[in-house]
Amino acid sequence: MRHTVETLLSHVSSRTSEGDDLIKRAYQFAKHHHQDQLRLSGEPYFNHVFETALILSQIGLDPTTISAGLLHDIIEDTEATQEDIKKEFGSEILFLVEGVTKLGKIKYRGVERHVESLRKLFIATSQDIRVLIIKLCDRVHNMRTLEFIPEEKQKRIALETLEVHAPIAHRLGIGSIKDELEGLSFKYLYPQEYQETQKVAESRYIKAEQELKKLHKKLLTELAHEMIRVIRTEYRRKHIWSLYKKLLRKEMDIEKIYDIMALRIVVPTVSDCYRALGIVHSLWRPLPGRIKDFIAFPKPNGYQSLHTTIFTGEGSIAEVQIRTKEMHDHAEYGVASHVRYKHGNSDSSTLGWIKKLIPSGWSKHSSDEIEYIETKPPLWIEELVEAQEELEKPKDYLNGVKSDFLIDRIFVFTPKGDVIDLPIESSPVDFAYYVHSDIGDHIQGAKVNGKLVSLSTKLKNGDIVEIMTSAKSHPSKKWLEYSKTLLAKRSIKQYLKESSTS
Ligand code: MN
């Protein structure tokens, strides 16, 4: 019964009849078009797109994004066309589905130097956070079912997930997805270490939980006494991949890991958080230097919470985390946790959407819809917001700088893996001048992805570009037609002028 539309709808956070109707239509459409396809597991292919949509609904996405999740493999894997999707579901959903399809075409080359470039490329190519979030949920389900994939492919996919997808989930603050992706990648990449870590952790978890339960009882009594309501309590296990990384730093000695499990309490307001912290410290002595105020000083991805480590009085120490419900949701679902508040937003333009997400300064209580505002957005979101502000400047200014925005740019690589961003439709000539004017002035030929190409070739996202030079080669008038950037055009003109006068 798992793959029924009712199951999916029951996870949607803000239901409306329009939203339900949209999801039902996308469900039927996907089911129909994927009907005879099977995955390597032998399951119907539809189950994959269903599970992707289910994860989207579980982390709080809106019906539009959930529907796009149902349709995310439609263009790539079925007969249905872009026009069909547009006709049935409109241009916003088509935009999201096309975005996910495009991302699927970016190939991971497994070279270390490419990793940061690839993350940037991912972010730039997706243009809309929702595209990235769908891609991440798609990856979560693919990782959950990785056992059915041939072994050598498992490792490649797991490595890519660990190096590209998990860091993006982290950057978006979606802790639940980051943790799951890391755990699954770990399992397939280093199976032996995974099992060993699990083994050493298990007995410690049990012991730590018993200790925390005692603390918890005492703490609850005291908080009740001080009239602080506790919304929920969790015993949070340190995630297996971060545990393993920490073990590596501590000579694999589990006894040296103090935060293997933390007591996490969720209280109604920020002032309750600080009051609760005071109570914790009055009951147990804190370890100096281990009190972390991520409320006043949020992490770059927006994470907020109070952390402290205390002596339990029974010869051990324990970590306590205190936060509000909003901080908790943000930690689990990150950027995604905001989307539900913006249900029904009809502005599908990329940057506009992000702008709306972060209304007039993330740092002010200016929006009634986002309450936990005393935090900063990830830097790259700020950059996108700035780009959006630029876009809103007067038209003539806009024309001059238009091609400098992410949406009009492509990201290509040097043979060493450095990323270079250029305006869309740039050629190897633009690339060469970008790298160095000397290279530009002596281009003999160019290779893209290892193949010789003409200098008029239009570069595409992810291309690896190599320029061959010769002391005898020089710019010609023709190159002006090939070049897109001002830098290349200016350099070529200058060379032509100098060579005609000399
Ligand atoms: Mn997929």
Q: How far is the CA of 248 from the centre of ligand 1 (A)?
A: 34
- Residue 114 has a pLDDT of 57
Query: Would you say residue 181 has pLDDT above 70?
Result: yes
Q: Token match 């996910």: residue?
A: 100
5: amino acid identity, one letter = V
pLDDT tier at 260 (50, 70, 90 boundaries)?
A: confident
Q: 117: CA distance to ligand 1 center in Å?
A: 23
Kindly tell me if the per-residue pLDDT of 204 is higher than 70: yes
Q: Which of 43, 77, 84, 371 is catalytic?
A: 77
* Residue 492 φ/ψ, nearest 5 degrees: -65, -45
Residue 348 Cα to ligand 1 midpoint, Å, equals 22
Catalytic residue (choose from 76, 226, 408, 425): 76
Cβ neighbours around 21 below 10 Å, total: 11
Judge whether residue 144 has pLDDT over 60. yes
Q: What is the pLDDT of residues 60-96, one digit of tens each?
A: 899 999 999 999 999 989 999 999 999 999 999 999 9
Residue 400 has pLDDT above 70, yes or no: no
Mean pLDDT of 136-165: 92
**How much is the pLDDT for 108?**
60
How many angstroms separate the alpha carbon of residue 253 from the centre of ligand 1? 40
**Is residue 376 predicted with pLDDT exceeding 50?**
no
Pairing of strands 451-453, 443-448: antiparallel
End-to-end CA distance of the chain: 81
Instruction: Report the separation in Å between the CA atom of 485 and the middle of ligand 1, taken as the mean of its atom positions.
Output: 36
- Confidence label for 14 from pLDDT (cuts 50, 70 and 90): confident
CA of 84 to the centre of ligand 1 (A): 19
Contact 143, 155 (CB under 8 A): no
**Nearest of 207, 218, 258, 261 to residue 238 by alpha carbon:** 261
Task: Name residues whose C-beta falls within 8 Å of residue 132's C-beta, 6 or more positions apart in sequence.
Answer: 103, 122, 123, 126, 168, 172
CA distances 482 to 306, 404, 412, 436, 454, Å, are: 56, 18, 17, 17, 10
> pLDDT higher for 333 or 417?
333
Q: How far is the CA of 82 from the centre of ligand 1 (A)?
A: 17
pLDDT at 499: 86
Q: Is the distance from CB of 302 to CB of 375 less than 8 angstroms?
A: yes
Instruction: Grade residue 202 by pLDDT with cuts at 50, 70 and 90.
Output: confident
Question: Does the structure show a pLDDT above 60 at 201?
Answer: yes
* pLDDT, the chain, mean: 81
Ligand 1 centroid from CA 80, angstroms: 15
How far does residue 377's CA lie from ligand 1's centre (Å)?
29
* Four-point Cα dihedral 161, 165, 170, 173, nearest 10: -130
Please give the distance, rounded to the nearest whole angstrom, from the Cα atom of residue 49 to the centre of ligand 1. 6
Q: What's the 449 CA to ligand 1 centre distance in angstroms? A: 26
Cα–ligand 1 centroid distance for 145 (angstroms): 12
Q: Does 283 have pLDDT greater than 90? A: yes
> Which residues, 6 or more positions from 334, have their beta carbon under 8 angstroms from its beta carbon?
169, 172, 173, 174, 175, 301, 302
Asked if 146 and 184 touch (Cβ cutoff 8 Å), the reply is yes
Q: State the pLDDT confidence band at 366, using cuts at 50, 70 and 90.
A: very low
Average pLDDT score over residue span 362-372: 27
Q: Is 466 left (phi over 0), alpha (psi -120 to 50) or beta?
A: beta
The answer to whether residue 196 is catalytic is no
Is pLDDT above 60 for 460?
A: yes
Taking the C-alpha atoms of residue 245 and residue 398, their distance in angstroms, rounded to an integer, is 47
User: What pLDDT does residue 112 have?
Assistant: 52
Q: What Å distances lie between residue 130 and 97, 100, 167, 179, 357, CA to CA? A: 10, 9, 16, 19, 12
Inform me whether the pLDDT recorded for 282 exceeds 70.
yes
347 catalytic residue (yes or no) = no
